Amino acid sequence: MAPPKKTTSPTKKPTAPTGSGKTPRKGGGWKVIGTEGAPAKPKAAPKAAKKPAPKKAAPKPKAEPKPHGRPSIYTPELGDLICRRIAAGETVRAIGRDADMPDESTIRGWALDNKDGFFPQYTRAVQIRAGVWAEEIIEIADDGSNDTYTDPNTGMERTNAEVVARSRLRVDTRKWMLSKVLPKVYGDKLDLNHGVQPENPLASMLQRIAGTGLPVIKENGE
């Protein structure tokens, strides 16, 4: 019996690679052609999240420009403020030392020129200040807290002559000022006629006698 003939299967021609660079393998697999050793494409870095834009600060209100130097133009408001400080007990010299107030000479010049009726208001403020001085005299006289001290050597209580003398000077100064500012109220001499010139008592008596027809006897006996 003759042996069976061997049959050879026809060889399959390799198919052309597809557009993806892969060829089919035996058994249904795919082989990548021409991509071995090719550098891998770098992955794109993830985009950083955008930071929120900082909020713009609200614009600060512009400050009003401050006037340079001392005020030298009179206004009713400024005059009223000066008079109120005088009536509270301050002196014009003390007010003039403030950087935001007119100079002492300017204030006195306004009073001298009666700037917009400033002089009567200024005079009234000075008179009211005299009342403050009168009250200060009482407070100074009644305050004896520092009139004495304890001698550290002997432990005895002694009079502080310097404090007493200083208090006396403060009282006398205010008394003198009161007698000049309000002489009718705080003057040393009591005017019973309220400023009116009193009549001459001798002349008044002679006029009354002459009106009655009685003889007038003179000093020389005539």
Residue 135 lies inside a defined structural domain of this protein: yes
CB 14 within 8 A of CB 24: no
> How many domains does the chain contain in total?
1
Residue 196: per-residue pLDDT? 53
Among residues 3, 33, 1, 2, which one has the least CA distance to residue 15?
33
Asked if the model's pLDDT at residue 118 lies above 90, the reply is yes
Asked if the model's pLDDT at residue 8 lies above 80, the reply is no
Residue 198 lies inside a defined structural domain of this protein: no
Residue 141: per-residue pLDDT? 93
The SS3 call for residue 217 is coil
Residue 127 lies inside a defined structural domain of this protein: yes
Residue 56 lies inside a defined structural domain of this protein: no
CB atoms within 10 A of CB 140: 15
Asked if the model's pLDDT at residue 111 lies above 70, the reply is yes
Rg of the chain taking only CA atoms, in angstroms: 57
Residue 130 lies inside a defined structural domain of this protein: yes
Residue 207 lies inside a defined structural domain of this protein: no
User: What is the tens place of the pLDDT at every residue in 16-58?
Assistant: 555 555 555 555 555 555 555 555 666 666 666 666 666 776 6
- Which residue range forms the structural domain that includes residue 109? 76-186
Residue 215 lies inside a defined structural domain of this protein: no
Cα–Cα dist 5/19, whole Å:
42
Residue 170 lies inside a defined structural domain of this protein: yes
CATH number at residue 118: 1.10.10.60
